[in-house]
Chain A
Amino acid sequence: MWELIRVNKRNSIILFVVMAVVLVGLGMTIGAAIDPRAWLLGGLVAAGLWLFLAVLSLSSGDQILLAASRARPVTKEVHPQLFNVVEEMTIAAGLPKMPSVYIIEDLAPNAFATGRGPHTASIAVTAGLLAKLDRDELQGVIAHEISHILHRDILYVTLAGVMLGAVLIVSEVFLRGLIYGDRTGRSRRYSGPTRRAPAQAQMILLLIAVVVAVLAPILAQLLYFALSRQREYLADAGAARLTRYPEGLARALEKIASDTSGPLAVANKATAPMYIVNPFKKGLDAWTSTHPPISERIRILRSLGNTVSLVQYAKAYYKATSRPFPIKVQDESLPVRPGQPGGLQANPKDKDRQAADLIRKVHGFRFLSCPCGLTLKVPPNYTAGQISCPRCGRRLVVAQSAAGAD
């Protein structure tokens, strides 16, 4: 496990440096293309941007990502089982502090973890995930996210996401500016006689800049995606190790893959690699996909047999993909435990209703059960102390909602 964290830290630094080189190189070429003397200025501006983004993502990257995914912080009362499972996995991983728990109001089942490190981590899951998975499956998904925290993936994803976004924006702005600026640039070209001599060199520089601007984001993305796929496998292996029950995660992935709720509305190009499965579900080819194929992940988890360990996972990975496992691992083999039946699960028909109720709870709705059997869902802005049951007319006392601030 320690060698794994070490490799992850090393990869993070490599990516961090490569992103910096790509960004500064891009700035320098663009600067030189605009004016041959401006290459240093371009590089400096890019370096400044890189520094600014690094500081921003280190100080509040997790909050930005959570806000961008419209995740709401919740208390234990909203979903006790989720809290319990997160706490169980925190204990199993020996994390110093339980991550903060967020719920995303979406029916598409998905989850992600973010934060700087084990002390400041957060886990966000969608309402759809909670409604559709049983306890063992939820445990598998949460264990996968806790593994991301344990392996220090979360900081890397936050940093890389912001950096990749910056490279994308810079090259896009330059390329669009070129197309747009060509119309207005004609008059400038004849403005001074001194500009005519280096015109040919200028053209070559411009060409190089265009090539770099086109290639840089592609290169950055390829590197990012390759490392991010590898991290998904490692987090799966970690989840099997933490739960001692790979079947739970395998079933969860199966359910998520066969879900028909459509893509996750709040996900975008920069946040997609954070999620446990690709939120877009498009048939992208293997090179540009942020996630390994789900069927392959399930196959590996199912072929672990009766022991879970990173070594066993690496063997199963080799058998399923006939590629060697990207990281050399060593640890003890650990026995698998029997699964436990699901606890508080309703029948499948009620699942969407359950998810909707959960979203209401997140918003501070109060649930009153009338003795006649009806459940009243009282919105947070209802301030009267009593409400009458629409079916039997009984007066029911409405407790003041604490979460109903908005």
Chain B
Amino acid sequence: MMVILVVVVVVLVGLILYVIGVFNQLVRLRNQVDNAWSQIDVQLKRRHDLIPNLIETAKGYMKHERQTLEAITQARSQAMGARTVGEAAKAEGALGQALARFLMTVENYPDLKANQNFLALQEELASTENKISFARQNYNDQVLFYNNRIQMFPSNIVASMFGFAKREFFEVEAPAERQVPTVSF
């Protein structure tokens, strides 16, 4: 009788410890997913902050490209004013395309390309675009880890016990955005 009781207690304690372990791991993975998501936001904000400077520097040189520049400013204000995630994704996509078009047209302005200030801004812009896509890439990697863990046996039992929900991948809508914008300098 005593032996059975001890065995039952040991098994129960072991089970509880296992559940605690899996629970903590799931929380850690979920925090990593959230953290990766906020990193995307940080980089998008940085892109918004860069644009006024860029336009200011380019304006003097690109008299004939008023439309291209205006498209960027407009896309930026739309992206900043977006209320829902869907709206934001769409506006950011449009902004990314407008910036890619702008960097293409820069090719026709050798004076602008020789401007030190502009070169520095261009490096910042190219890097920010990279950071956005790398932040996205990392987010998707983290979601993959997290989703695998909550769908695989036996951790899926713990996940459903405490209501860990599957996360969505960050898929880019516009097919042009899906390929990293080929920014040519």
User: Residues of A with Cβ closer than 8 Å to B?
Assistant: 2, 80-81, 84-85, 87-89, 91-94, 135, 242, 244, 332, 337-338, 340-344, 369
CA distance A81 to B119 in the complex (A): 11
**In the assembled complex, which residues on chain A have CB atoms less than 8 Å from the CB atom of B145?**
2
CB closest residue in chain B, given A369: B116
CA distance A94 to B131 in the complex (A): 11
Closest chain-B Cβ to A82's Cβ sits at a distance in Å of 11
Known: A80-B124, A81-B123, A343-B123. A88 touches B184 (CB 8 A): no
Instruction: Check A92–B123 contact: CB distance below 8 A.
Output: no
Instruction: Check A80–B123 contact: CB distance below 8 A.
Output: yes
User: Residues of B with Cβ closer than 8 Å to A?
Assistant: 32, 35-36, 39, 43, 116, 119-120, 122-124, 126-127, 130-131, 134-135, 137-138, 141-142, 144-145, 179-180, 182-185
Please name the 4 residue pairs, one residue from A and one from B, whose CB atoms are nearest each other, closest first.
A84-B127, A92-B134, A94-B138, A91-B134
**In the assembled complex, which residues on chain B have CB atoms less than 8 Å from the CB atom of A344?**
119, 123
Instruction: Check B134–A84 contact: CB distance below 8 A.
Output: no
**In the assembled complex, which residues on chain A have CB atoms less than 8 Å from the CB atom of B43?**
91
CA distance A89 to B180 in the complex (A): 16
Instruction: Check B144–A94 contact: CB distance below 8 A.
Output: no
Instruction: Check B180–A340 contact: CB distance below 8 A.
Output: yes
Q: List 6 A-B contacts (CB under 8 A).
A: A2-B145, A84-B124, A87-B127, A89-B134, A91-B138, A92-B135
**In the assembled complex, which residues on chain A have CB atoms less than 8 Å from the CB atom of B119?**
344
Known: A338-B179, A338-B182, A342-B185. A88 touches B127 (CB 8 A): yes
Instruction: Check B32–A341 contact: CB distance below 8 A.
Output: no
CA distance A127 to B120 in the complex (A): 19
**In the assembled complex, which residues on chain A have CB atoms less than 8 Å from the CB atom of B32?**
94
State the majority secondary structure of interface residues on A. Answer: helix
CB closest residue in chain A, given B127: A84
Instruction: Check B144–A332 contact: CB distance below 8 A.
Output: yes
CA distance A382 to B123 in the complex (A): 31
Closest chain-A Cβ to B52's Cβ sits at a distance in Å of 19
**In the assembled complex, which residues on chain A have CB atoms less than 8 Å from the CB atom of B134?**
88-89, 91-92, 242
Closest chain-A Cβ to B159's Cβ sits at a distance in Å of 17
**In the assembled complex, which residues on chain A have CB atoms less than 8 Å from the CB atom of B131?**
84, 87-88, 91
CB closest residue in chain B, given A84: B127
CB closest residue in chain B, given A135: B126
CB closest residue in chain B, given A139: B130
**In the assembled complex, which residues on chain B have CB atoms less than 8 Å from the CB atom of A87?**
127, 131
Known: A338-B182, A341-B185. A94 touches B122 (CB 8 A): no
Instruction: Check A338–B180 contact: CB distance below 8 A.
Output: yes
CB closest residue in chain A, given B182: A338
**In the assembled complex, which residues on chain A have CB atoms less than 8 Å from the CB atom of B179?**
337-338
CA distance A244 to B138 in the complex (A): 12
CA distance A332 to B36 in the complex (A): 19
Since A80-B123, A338-B182, A341-B183 are in contact, a sample of 14 more A-B pairs with Cβ atoms closer than 8 Å, ordered by chain A residue number, is A80-B120, A84-B131, A88-B130, A88-B131, A91-B131, A92-B134, A92-B137, A92-B138, A93-B138, A94-B39, A135-B126, A340-B180, A344-B123, A369-B116
Instruction: Check B142–A94 contact: CB distance below 8 A.
Output: yes
CA distance A341 to B184 in the complex (A): 6
Instruction: Check A91–B39 contact: CB distance below 8 A.
Output: yes
Closest chain-B Cβ to A137's Cβ sits at a distance in Å of 14
CA distance A81 to B131 in the complex (A): 13
CA distance A341 to B123 in the complex (A): 12
